[in-house]
Amino acid sequence: MTDSTRREQLADTLADHQATASELAGELETPVSTIYQDLKHVARSMRYKEHTEFLVAPPVCSNCGFSNYDDPVNYPSRCPECRSESIEEAVFKIEDRR
């Protein structure tokens, strides 16, 4: 058993490789809704770490290509442009900028 918290494990995972919330949920055996809450917390925490950046490739509508979502650290239920429910998940990564 590890001594690190779930959010620390999440940050370590994203520092190693990029992933969607669903992939992280599978790796960390945690519900996707909890992963999104943790991602928001980790993103806020990264603001205070020098040389570290929380990167997000926003969700994209598979139907019309819309990607200008208000909150990219969230999973939209449908596209605001075409109302399609076919949305590709956002991809997250923590990058060391040294």
CB neighbour list of residue 54: distance below 8 Å, 6 or more residues apart: 14, 42, 43, 46, 47, 92, 93, 94
CA gap 14, 24 in Å, rounded? 9
Round the CA-based radius of gyration of the chain to a whole number and report it.
14
- Report pLDDT for 21: 95
- Report pLDDT for 1: 43
- Domain residues for 53? 6-96
Mind listing the pLDDT tens digit of every residue in the chain (98 residues)? 457 899 999 999 999 999 999 999 999 999 999 999 999 999 998 888 888 999 999 999 999 999 998 888 888 899 999 999 999 999 999 998 87
- Number of separate domains in the chain: 1
Query: For residue 1, is it within any domain?
Result: no
Q: Model's pTM, two decimal places?
A: 0.87
Look at the block and give the residue holding tokens 């990264």. Answer: 46
